[in-house]
Structure 1
Amino acid sequence: MSTSADEVTRRRYGEGRDALLDAAVRVVANSGLRRLTYRAVAREAGVGHTLVAHHFGSLDALIEAALERSLTLSMESVTSRPGSGDLDALFEGLAGLATAKAAGEAFQFEVILESRRRPELRQHVETIYDAYIDAIHSELTLAGLTPDRDFTHLVYVAAEGLVFNQITHGSAEQTTRSLAHLRTLLDHARKASR
């Protein structure tokens, strides 16, 4: 379904930019970060490539903005009840997110892998890790655990691995079952620390 000129004019400020970011995410998720060009994003978004250059100025700026958007959209998967410390809510929406927003998750993994070859991306990858780990650490602390950074990292990597598995060859049902086991282990750790 194509978008009419009237529909484009009625978009609120920022929606066109977000559409370009979403297109960039899909390009990278489907073709890899090395295939990200203004023309590829424009083709995916159905606009002229000069519009992409106008909004972002450089591919690095486009990658950074797309990462920020992807991270913002996926942070809601850390818990369905932010600030509650409810272990049952921890990663409650993760399997659904990995299904519904698989492109966003694949995009993040592509950037993470590419950062091994392009050190300038390392800062962006660290931002992703820090945001997730800080959110998880906060929820674990509120749940009554006293996690150190390594324990929180372990929980994050377990969840991240489940997402990677699901978007590459697993299933949402398998992820959901595995997350239930992770929550049980966290509950045992909480009880043991009392």
Structure 2
Amino acid sequence: MDDALAKPIWSGGAAGLKYLALFVLLVVTVIQLLSVTGNIPILIYFSMPNSLSPVRNPTGEALFFALVIAALLVLWIPVMVLCRAMALSLVNVAVSGQYGLRTLREKIRFGRWPLLVALFFLIASAGATAAAIPRAQYHLSVSSVAFSAGGIVVCVALLVVVVAMSAVAYRESRVNGSVGASGAN
């Protein structure tokens, strides 16, 4: 058995602090992403000139939605790549005590998009569920409670999928070579 696996990460020390720091950074990144995502449509709407406003010009609505989608893609794709790297590094730091970002990226031999898509759906469903729960609390109805409960179930299921995908990616990177030995801290 590996010495890193025999010692629990929660026992403290530098490895535990690295794990906690990376976990907090991942959570803060996701929260800020959801916050900024909610502000982008408002910012684009108020920055459009009156001649192109969706209210005054029928083609303005298509332009507004195209700008919102483009802005969200420019924001979400790099942040999802960062979150994917942090999710893989979270597994590595729990096992070896090192971040290993550079070596994990080099050692993974399969596509990166499945984990990115799973992270996207996890964050999007978490945002939709977070918006639905207060509505269910203040406007108690069967549909709002069912939507909130369904969102929680979907979030938990997607969290299990993302954790499993991260663990498999870490295992595959360990098969290709030693990740923790030369990891970038």
Please report the TM-score for the alignment, with normalisation by the length of structure 1.
0.31
Please report the TM-score for the alignment, with normalisation by the length of structure 2.
0.32
Larger Rg: 2
More contact order relative to length (CA 8 Å, sep ≥ 6): 2
Higher helix share: 2
